[in-house]
Amino acid sequence: MKINLGNYQNSWYYPGASKIKIFCWMLISAIIFRVSIPFPNFMKIQILKFLGAKIESGVVIKPSVNIKYPWNLVIGKNSWVGEGVWIDNLSHVYIGDNCCISQGVYLLTGNHDYTSSSFDLMVSDIKIENEAWLGAKSIICPGVTAKKGSVLSVGSIASNDLDSFTIYRGNPAKKIKERKIL
């Protein structure tokens, strides 16, 4: 059997909002979120909440952040989202309390079925538990949970769950050592 992208269809997928809401978000995102202008954090938080995101107190969202669908986003208390982060949340992304999502991190909830001749879309939630740290330019793949206190080092790719208070590095990410907090 051959791949035929002409047969691709994702009519089953519903992004969780009307086309008008999606269009409005794309416009707002292009003007306020995906630019390097440091718009006030409280303004960005209020816009995200208005569009359905659940965001707790103390959250910091830096400039140049790309969020696919705010209504699929939950961020806990005192968490940071760094410059250039891409939250490609076709499905839900949960970020716990006191998490650091460093600059350039890519949270990827969608992928394609390479065994299907029509390359079908697959989506799965991502969960970043409390006190986790995702290093700069790291990638979290669909369905991954970064458990409490886990660390994904700079440029690493997590395609499997990360254990609590464990440091991971590489592609694919491998356990390096325990994380000890003094």
User: Which domains occur in the chain, in start order?
Assistant: 41-178 (2.160.10.10)
Q: Give the whole-angstrom CA distance, residue 4 versus residue 118.
A: 5
The amino acid sitting at 3 is I
Give the global pTM: 0.95
Measure CA 3 to chain center: 29
Q: Give the whole-angstrom CA distance, residue 41 versus residue 159.
A: 31
Q: Give the whole-angstrom CA distance, residue 163 versus residue 158.
A: 11
**pLDDT digits over 40-79, tens only?**
999 999 999 999 999 999 999 999 999 999 999 999 999 9
pLDDT band at 1 (very low <50, low <70, confident <90, very high): confident
The amino acid sitting at 137 is K
